[in-house]
A and B are shown apart, each in its own frame.
Chain A
Amino acid sequence: MKRILLLGGFFFLFICSALPVASEESADELALFESLDIEGDYAYEFPAIPPSAHLHLGYRFVDLDDSSRVFEYEYLKDSVIFGGDLRTFMFPHRFYLNFDFANKKDYFGDLRYAYGDIVLFRWLNNSYYHNLENILLHDYDPLTSSPGVDIRDAGDGYGIGTRENKFHLMAKVPRFPLHLYFDGFYLVKDGDVQQRNLLGSGFFNNLQRVSQRRRLDNTTRIYKIGANSHFGLVEVDFAHIEKRFDVDKAPVLADAYSGSGLRPAGVYEHSRIPELEGSGNTFKIHTSYTGQWVASASFLQNDRKNKYSGAKSDVKIGAGSLMWNPMTSLAFALRYTHRDLDNKNPAHVDISNFADPASTLSYSVKRPISSNTDTLHLIGRYRPKKGLTFRAKYNYQKVDRSRAGIWSLPDSTTRNGITLTADTRLHSTVLFNLKYAYKNVDDPAYNTEPEDSNAGSLALTWLPHPAVNLLFGYDLDRQERDNLNFANTDDPRDREVDLDNARILATFQLSPKLTMSTTYSYMRYEVVQDLAYENLAGEPQIDKNVSMHQKAHVFNLGGYYHLSEALYLLGEVTYTRSKGKFNPSSADLLEPVSVASFSRMEQDYLLLHLGGRYMFDRGLSMDLDYRYGDLEDRLDNIYDDIEDGEAHIVMLSATKKW
Chain B
Amino acid sequence: MTTSAIKSRPIYGSLVPDPTGRHHVVVGEGPGTAPVMRLLAAPGFPEHPRHVLVAPEPASGPAGLAALSACGVAEIVPDGPSLLRRLDALLDGCRMGTRLYAAGSESFLGAVVKIAAEHGLLDDECRTEHAGSTARRVHCTHCRQVNEHVTTNLVACAGCGRTLFVRDHYSRRLAAFMGVQADAEQPGATPALQEVFP
Co-assembled chains A and B: no
| Chain B interfacial positions (CB closer than 8 Å to A) | none
